[in-house]
Amino acid sequence: MSKINPDFSTELKKYGAINFNACYNCGNCTAVCSLSDEDNSFPRSMIRFSVLGLESEIQSSVIPWLCYYCGECSETCPKQANPGELMMSLRRWLTTKYDWTGLSGLLYKFIQLSIIAFILTAVGVIVFSVYENFKLENIMHYGHLFEMLAIGAVFSLILIPNIIRMWWFIILKPKVKVPIVYYFKGIWDLIVHMFTQKRTLGCDDNQFRWFEHFILVGGYLALLFTTIVLDWFGTENLFIIVLGYVESGIIFIVTFDFVLSRMKKKKEISKFSQPSDWFFVIWLFLLGFTAFVVRVFIDTNLLENNIWIYLFHLIILVQWALIIVPFGKWTHFLYRSFAMYFEKLQKDIKISP
Amino acid sequence: MEKTIDYIKKKRTVSEEVKEKRKEFARIKKLILKTLETEPKTIPQIAKETQLPSDVVTFNLMTLRKYGEVIAGDIDDMDEYFFYKLK
Amino acid sequence: MRNKIGVYICHCGSNIADYVDVEKLKEIVAKEEGVVLAKTTMFACADSTQKEIVQDIQEKNLDAIVIASCSPKLHLFTFRNIAIRAGLNPYNYIQVNIREQCSWAHSDTPKQATEKAISLVLAGIERAKHSKALTTLKISSVNTVAVVGAGVAGMRAAIELADMGTQVFLIEREYFVGGRSSQWNKLFTTDETGQEIVAKLYKKIITYNNITLFTGAEIVSKSGSVGDFDIKVKINPRYIKPGCKLDWAKFEKAVEVCPVEFDDPFNFGLTKQKAIYKNYPSEFPEIPAIDYDKCNKCGECVKVYEDIDLNQKPETININTGAVLLTTGFDPYEPEKGEFAFDEIDNVITLQKFKRLIELNEKELIYRNRKIRNIAYIYCVGSRQLDGENKYCSRYCCTSAIHTAILVKNKYSDINNFHFNRGIRTYGKQEVLYTESSEIGDIFLQSFEDSPPVVEKQGKDTIVKINDILTCGKELEVVADLVVLVTGMVPRKINTIADVLKVPIGRDKFFNEIHPKLRPVETVIDGVLIAGSCQAPLNITESVKSALSAASKANSLISKGEIELEPTLAKIDETICEWCDKCSEICPYDAIIKTKHGGKIIAVVNETSCKGCGMCLPVCPVNAIQLIGYTDVEIESMIEALI
Amino acid sequence: MPEQKSGYDVLVIGGGIAGEEAALNLANIGYKVILVEKDISIGGKMIHLSKVFPTLDCAACITTPKVSETARHPNISIFTNSEVKDIEKNSEKNFTATLVEKPRYVTEDCTGCQICEEKCPVVVNDQYQWDLVGRKAVYIPFSIANPRIAVIDIENCILCGLCEKVCPANAIDFTQEEKQTEIKIKSIIIATGYDLFDPELMPRYGFGKYKNVVTSMQMERQLVPTRPYNAVLRPKDGKMPDNIAYVLCTGSRDETIGNPICSQVCCMYSVKQAQLLMGALPMADVTIYYIHVRAFGKGFCEFYQQSKGMGVEFIKGKVGTIKENENGNLVVRYEDIEEGKVKEAEHDLVVLSVGILANTDFTTMFKNIKIGQDNFNYVKQTDELTNPAKTTIEGVFVAGTASGPMDIPDSILSAGAASAETASYLRRTNNEK
Amino acid sequence: MTENKGSKILVFSTEKISDPAIDLAGLLKMHYPPTVYTINIPCSSAVKSRWIMHAFNKGFDGVFIAADGTDCAFDESCTDNTAKVISRTHELMKEKGIEPARLKMAAICSVCAEPFVKQMKSFAEYLSKS
């Protein structure tokens, strides 16, 4: 027995959902979705739960993460109820539900708070630089240190607890009994999905979108590795330097295309943009671009006299690491892979008696 | 008696497409009628023998039936396809 | 018996002549007794041939002609006109179809086609021999229509008829006009209120000299037939002096002093009513009324309102009318006790009552001292019943409920609407309302056919539960402050007019038309028409359409002063008939009447009602009935000629 | 100066069931009516239907008597193959318009013998059988056409002159030209009917590409005794289908194709066709995919229940996509709403229950006045509740589906209303007694 | 009298419904036995047993009622009433020793040309065998 909560619609609209109440439950969206199957039929099921406000049903579901937003459903929806954007909004909403700090919810819903957070972090970096008397070497040293610390902290304090919460919502709370071995069996899928997002390929005819996304993820992870472990800004190794250029180049070129398509609004996926979507692509673009420029300045020995460029990069980096990665859209990357993983667990149980 | 066709011939020209359509129909008609000379056949059988797409056979065969050149006979054992024969 | 028959055989170019040996045909028929002329012709329908035939008829003094050519469906009227032009009765013209039913059908066997053609033409000649000169029957009619029921449909029909020049008697059972529509607020699609529409129509009606309105009036008997009905109308007194003006203050006082109080039917019991009343201030006619059945004649009101006259008596008047148009409307379905907790839980009400409630609550929606926030609408109450008698869909309720829900949401703050439906049927442009209500957040839940939603009390709360189709059958529940039963339309409970006029009733108990497509507003009783929701559930636009349709049908029927009837009629031989009731029983038009004739009881055909179908012919045990044009001699001589 | 025709009271534009009904009503009252039909015969779409719901009487049996009554009514002049343009309102009750009579190239001497048709060597798609079969360039539109006079499709004619040679009535006349006449009328009824949705606009249903995906109109023709095939067959390969699917709301209630409203008839005609199919193909399974079954009119709900009793399967869920198999069978993908699961099902014939769209021809007919359109492109009714036939122009009325989707009984009633409003308008403005 | 010419069939058709169908059969150049003769009447339920018996007496081999069925423009009781006439006539035929199967009825709609032709062919075939 579930109680209906009509107020949930209003809540969800703050996460970017548009007009999904118009749904008359024809099921067209589910039928045209190439990722939807008998076990997980969506997006209509999620629209229905959202209209009725059955929060716990949504919270315990992995379905929002199974959607890669090809936009076919929204394009063909007879009521123009934007099922694709609803799924996107549900992912945002779920992100905030998984987040134990509650910060991401605030940042999603109130753009003012996001802007304040961005300003605060920027001010923090500048204050720190003032404190360090704008000495490039020190700042770069702490910058590098920050990268490592931030990753560690964000992961251990925010992301891992959040994933545990997600696990609790999806597996523990609904009392799905999963034998331990299944967790190990599924790991490979987790990794594959995390790094390849191969399901997108089933999504639409546009293989290019998957490819773009794939090299972006690859480039991003590799740049992370190159800057943190291989100390790109500090190294003299030509191979690493070139590698870093390629990686950061990939990031800003691909994200530039993303920004462009969001502005053109031609494709269904880029028709609606929530602030968090803009932040994500723009910061990623800036991240790649400033890293690229910083290294160019290093190679041309201009950085000493143009420390501002590194500071700018650092501000972006700090904002990225402290705001977007733990509380923003970046987490999708993680949650989606885990959702896939949990879905596999659910399926495995169904198959074995 | 004078024929009015001569009057309109002076005013109109017939498009190539229309001429082509007429030839095409004549060709298909000949093919279909020829295959039916031996024995009654179903549409898939006619299509196979004439090398025409089956929907083209259906359309033209039914047109021939409409104008009385072909008639429908019995249905096959599977109750799927009718046999058509010359009238 | 005709014996100067002319026969024309048409070649129809080559259509007939190619298969039928027309020359041989001509030779054979020329020898036939009674045939004085036999010709072949290239095209019988050609102008020159037509002239020739006219000439022949006049010169040879022909008393019947037979043309053997194409189907009579094509040229019967062409050739009948030839006869008329030549001064021959058109029914002395016989067409024999030797094209569609001979030369074409038997083009594979020309010899036999010729033989068949000979037989057919001979049969035609036989028929011509026995053919009678018929004249179309004309009965006079008064250009008057009695419209029964002054709801929107009735008023609209009255105006239209009056505009077309017909005298109208508009007869309303209630003391006020407007019917159900005046109970409704804003209407889809124009957003006018029901009361505005009623006012608009009433104000128009009183400008017409040729509309007479009776309120508190009912038809109590009818005699006569189409064109000339005599109806008796009983009019209950209003107890208000005729011609007086409404004095609102005095009227209010009279209401105050009136000791008779009962649940107001207009507001479905939401308020109380006195014996002297108006349902709403701007109701028409302006003057109030005192309910004849309820008033105890205590005289209190007379003391404060001198325009009251309790000495008025009911009167009966006679009206002569050409046609009767019924626009008597519907009743809302009244749920049974316990149907979705109706009458058991106190916050369960019908849609119609809910609509009144909205109108009576200006600022806040309050029912039984409780502020309403969550409203559950349960659809198809009394319609599409699985077990009950009403199998039909009431058509207007989905739209009406959704329209009301939107209205409620816009009028009051903080309203949640939950629609427990069985598949929304907002057909046509009404779909936009469904979209609108969804978009503003109304929630639609659909129940399975065999498991309707359940309304029950849980502690203080009223809960509505459903297994929702749209959520894969999941059980869902809503705590409702108010449960609105979306009740459909049923025929009028008090429906005396049906008995008086003997209007046919359909399977759904609504009045039945002859044919929904051919004759959608006519009944089998000639001159009695139906329109609006007395015929089937309809919304206002649809009712008005059918009312206007009926108006034009009625007008074209009676406005010419006479009604022409086809001469193909049944005739009963009074010498043979021994009244057995079989023919009158089978007649769908009630055209056979039991009559005393020359000392014995016989059946007589009412020529104004008979349609000439012939259904009565075969049932007569003594073969007393003949259908003109299809008499035994005609048919049997044709049979003999054919063989 | 074009020729003039006057003395008419009403111009009825459109000779479908609504136009006929309106014309007959007015003619019976005594008004002179000019009825103009774009097509080469009158009867509109109804005359082509099989049986009609919910009474299952045959459409032709109802239409043809009305058609012939209209055709021979002394107060009605019919112009087929003709159009109206440049309607001008000059003053109260004074309209002029141009009547354009297209050449038929066949005179009224035609006896309908079809010898020309037999001989004509050209075959093109037969529009009256919705392209399922061919017709000749000279042809009688359909067997029960009125007038039953041949017509030459000059665009597809190869000018061989054979028809003229063989015509026994000498009715072929290639010298005919388009004729324009100015007509004077006092009032106008627009009864231009509706258009059907073109499912090629929904590529995911594969209409046009997959030959076994047909429209409901094509199925309607297959169910009529004057049908294009000898039985109900698949257009792709002539197989007798035994598993037929109906896709409801094709082109209705769908904002993506610009028609957000319900077409009001598709549910019922599909239910009806399903019943007829069960009669024509007793072994066949029929499945109807629906969103809501709109069985709202008199006797409709009972009819719907009856079809369930006969074994027609109803599945709640709009079909998302249709794909073709090698054997010509079609796989429909849909969400079974009751179960909440996406499913695929194979059918050997799919019928798209196409919706009704406004026929917007009326918008271009007027010259010095503009006629209002509603949000869905139909003729705007300015006083829908009490004067349903009234339009934005005084003296111009609307009948039938020109004002919105409706079924046959509703169209007939609407035409009745239009005729009543026209009659009273004429009388009012005439100041007749 | 009827030797080698096929069985003679009298058809009672109705003006509005079944007669147009019989016309249509000719229009479509569909062939049925030329020994089929049609007399039309307003409604199929108007056929008198007497006429049918007269036809048999005069030498017709079969009588066919092309009934209005549910399309009847007069009344929906048409189908029932026609059926009753048939069954009464069947009784009379039995009395006279005429095989009841020689009187047949089927609903023929106004465009039912093909069903009509089929009916005629099979009826004629049946009659020629019996």
Partners of D255 on chain A (C-beta within 8 Å) are 78-80
What is the model's pLDDT at position E2?
39
Share above pLDDT 90 across residues of chain E, in percent, rounded to a whole number: 66
Query: For residue range C202-213, what is the model confidence (pLDDT) as tens digits?
Result: 999 999 999 999
Partners of A76 on chain D (C-beta within 8 Å) are 204, 256, 320
What is the model's pLDDT at position C643?
85
pLDDT exceeds cutoff 60 at C68: yes
Ranges of beta strands (E only) in B1-87 are 70-75, 82-86
Which structural domains are found in chain E, ordered by start? Answer: 9-129 (3.40.50)
What average pLDDT does the structure give for chain C?
Answer: 93
Contacts of B9 (CB under 8 A, 6+ apart): D159, D161
Query: For residue range C525-541, what is the model confidence (pLDDT) as tens digits?
Result: 889 999 999 999 999 99
Closest alpha carbon within chain D to A35: D342
Residue type, C12: C
What is the model's pLDDT at position B2?
73
Three-state DSSP at C218 gives strand
**Chain C window 316-345: which residues touch D at a Cβ cutoff of 8 Å?**
none
Under a CB-based contact definition with an 8 Å cutoff, are residues D374 and D381 in contact? yes
Query: For residue range C376-389, what is the model confidence (pLDDT) as tens digits?
Result: 999 999 999 988 88
**Nearest-CB residue to C107 (from E23, E29, E60):** E29
What average pLDDT does the structure give for chain A?
Answer: 89
What is the model's pLDDT at position D433?
39
Mean pLDDT of D197-210: 96
Q: Provide the ipTM.
A: 0.90
Mean pLDDT of C469-488: 95
Token digits for D211?
């030959």
pLDDT exceeds cutoff 60 at A122: yes
Query: For residue range A322-347, what is the model confidence (pLDDT) as tens digits?
Result: 999 999 888 888 899 999 899 888 88
Partners of C613 on chain E (C-beta within 8 Å) are 42-43, 45-46, 74-75, 78
Which structural domains are found in chain B, ordered by start? Answer: 15-86 (1.10.10.10)
Radius of gyration of chain A (CA): 21
Three-state DSSP at D227 gives coil
Mean pLDDT of A106-115: 89
pLDDT exceeds cutoff 60 at B1: no
Sequential DSSP letters for D170-201: --B-TT---EEEEEEESEEEE---EEE--GGG
Name the range with the highest mean pLDDT among B40-44, C71-75, D3-7, D279-283: B40-44
* Domain-wise residue ranges, chain D: 3-102+178-193+359-430, 197-356
Q: Whole-angstrom Cα distance, residue C425 to residue C321?
A: 40
Query: For residue range C558-597, what is the model confidence (pLDDT) as tens digits?
Result: 998 888 888 889 999 999 998 999 999 999 888 899 998 8
The strand pair at C144-148 and C323-326 is best described as parallel
Three-state DSSP at D354 gives strand
Please answer yes or no on whether D240 and B80 come within 8 Å at the CB atom: yes
Closest alpha carbon within chain B to D209: B55
Share above pLDDT 90 across residues of chain C, in percent, rounded to a whole number: 79
Mean pLDDT of D262-266: 96
What is the model's pLDDT at position E1?
36
**Nearest-CB residue to B63 (from D133, D155, D160):** D133
D209 touches chain A (CB under 8 A): no
Which residues on neighbouring strands pair with residue D33, listed in sequence order?
D10, D76
The strand pair at C348-350 and C570-572 is best described as unpaired
Please answer yes or no on whether C443 and A2 come within 8 Å at the CB atom: no
Three-state DSSP at E63 gives strand
Mean pLDDT of E39-55: 94
SS3 for D8-50 is CCEEEECCCHHHHHHHHHHHHHCCCEEEECCCCCCCCCHHHCC
Contacts of A351 (CB under 8 A, 6+ apart): none
Please answer yes or no on whether C441 and A21 come within 8 Å at the CB atom: yes
Partners of C98 on chain D (C-beta within 8 Å) are none
Please answer yes or no on whether C643 and E39 come within 8 Å at the CB atom: no
pLDDT exceeds cutoff 70 at E3: no
What is the model's pLDDT at position C611?
87
pLDDT exceeds cutoff 90 at C271: yes
Q: Is C in contact with B (3 or more beta carbon pairs below 8 Å)? A: no
Three-state DSSP at D92 gives coil
C13/C542: higher pLDDT: C542
Mean pLDDT of C222-233: 92
Run of H or E including D319: strand D319-324
Pick the CATH number of D3-102+178-193+359-430 from 3.50.50.60, 1.10.240.10, 3.40.50.12280, 3.20.20.80: 3.50.50.60
Q: From residue A205, how far is each of A201, A255, C319, D239, E72 by CA, in Å?
A: 8, 21, 78, 33, 57
D156 touches chain B (CB under 8 A): yes
Contacts of A182 (CB under 8 A, 6+ apart): A345, A348, A349
Please answer yes or no on whether A4 and C476 come within 8 Å at the CB atom: yes
Tell me how crowded residue B71 is: count the other CB atoms within 10 A of its CB. 14
Q: Whole-angstrom Cα distance, residue A25 to residue C443?
A: 12
D262 touches chain A (CB under 8 A): no
Please provide the size of chain D in residues: 433
Q: Whole-angstrom Cα distance, residue A231 to residue A244?
A: 10
What average pLDDT does the structure give for chain D?
Answer: 94
Q: Distance from D348 to chain B by nearest Cα, in Å? A: 11
Task: Please tell me which chains touch B, using 3 or more CB pairs under 8 Å as the contact test.
Answer: D
DSSP letter at E14 equals E
**Nearest-CB residue to D124 (from B3, B21, B65):** B21
D70 touches chain C (CB under 8 A): no
Which structural domains are found in chain C, ordered by start? Answer: 5-130 (3.40.50), 144-236+314-329+493-558 (3.50.50.60), 248-304 (no CATH), 335-490 (3.50.50.60), 568-627 (3.30.70.20)
Could you give phi then psi for residue A210, rounded to 5 degrees? -65, -45
Predicted confidence band of residue D1 (pLDDT cuts 50, 70, 90):
very low
Predicted confidence band of residue D431 (pLDDT cuts 50, 70, 90):
low
Under a CB-based contact definition with an 8 Å cutoff, are residues C236 and C217 in contact? yes
Mean pLDDT of A239-263: 90
pLDDT exceeds cutoff 90 at C467: yes
Q: Whole-angstrom Cα distance, residue D65 to residue D79?
A: 19
Q: Whole-angstrom Cα distance, residue C218 to residue E88?
A: 46
DSSP letter at C559 equals T
Exposure class string for C218-249: b at 16+ Cβ within 10 A, else e: bbeebeebbbbbebebbbbbbbbeeeeeeeee
Q: Whole-angstrom Cα distance, residue D4 to residue D223?
A: 45
Angle between helices C110-130 and C632-642 (to 10 degrees): 160
What is the model's pLDDT at position D2?
52
Tell me how crowded residue D309 is: count the other CB atoms within 10 A of its CB. 8
Q: Whole-angstrom Cα distance, residue A32 to residue C324?
A: 57
Tell me how crowded residue B37 is: count the other CB atoms within 10 A of its CB. 8
What is the model's pLDDT at position E114?
87
Under a CB-based contact definition with an 8 Å cutoff, are residues C98 and C44 in contact? no
Angle between helices A331-351 and A180-196 (to 10 degrees): 140
Please answer yes or no on whether C476 and A51 come within 8 Å at the CB atom: no
Sequential DSSP letters for C309-355: -TT---EEEEEEESEEEE---EEE--PPTTGGGTTTSTTEEEHHHHH
Ranges of beta strands (E only) in C281-438 are 289-290, 315-321, 323-326, 330-332, 348-350, 366-367, 370-371, 374-381, 416-421
Nearest by Cα to C19 from C98, C101, C105, C113: C113
Q: Whole-angstrom Cα distance, residue C95 to residue C84?
A: 15
Partners of C427 on chain A (C-beta within 8 Å) are none
Q: Whole-angstrom Cα distance, residue C413 to residue C418?
A: 16
Residue type, D192: T
Under a CB-based contact definition with an 8 Å cutoff, are residues D352 and D205 in contact? yes
C456 touches chain D (CB under 8 A): no
Evaluate whether D3-102+178-193+359-430 and D197-356 have a shared fold: yes
Q: Whole-angstrom Cα distance, residue D6 to residue E20?
A: 36
Residue type, C411: K
Query: For residue range C308-363, what is the model confidence (pLDDT) as tens digits?
Result: 999 999 999 999 999 999 999 999 999 999 999 999 999 999 999 999 999 999 88
pLDDT exceeds cutoff 80 at A1: no
**Nearest-CB residue to E111 (from D55, D56, D60):** D60
CATH 2.40.420.20 fits D197-356, yes or no: no
Contacts of C459 (CB under 8 A, 6+ apart): none
Query: For residue range A302-312, what is the model confidence (pLDDT) as tens digits?
Result: 888 888 899 99
What is the model's pLDDT at position C639?
95
Predicted confidence band of residue A250 (pLDDT cuts 50, 70, 90):
very high
Q: Distance from E64 to chain C by nearest Cα, in Å? A: 13
Q: Is B in contact with A (3 or more beta carbon pairs below 8 Å)? A: no
**Nearest-CB residue to A52 (from C438, C471, C472):** C471
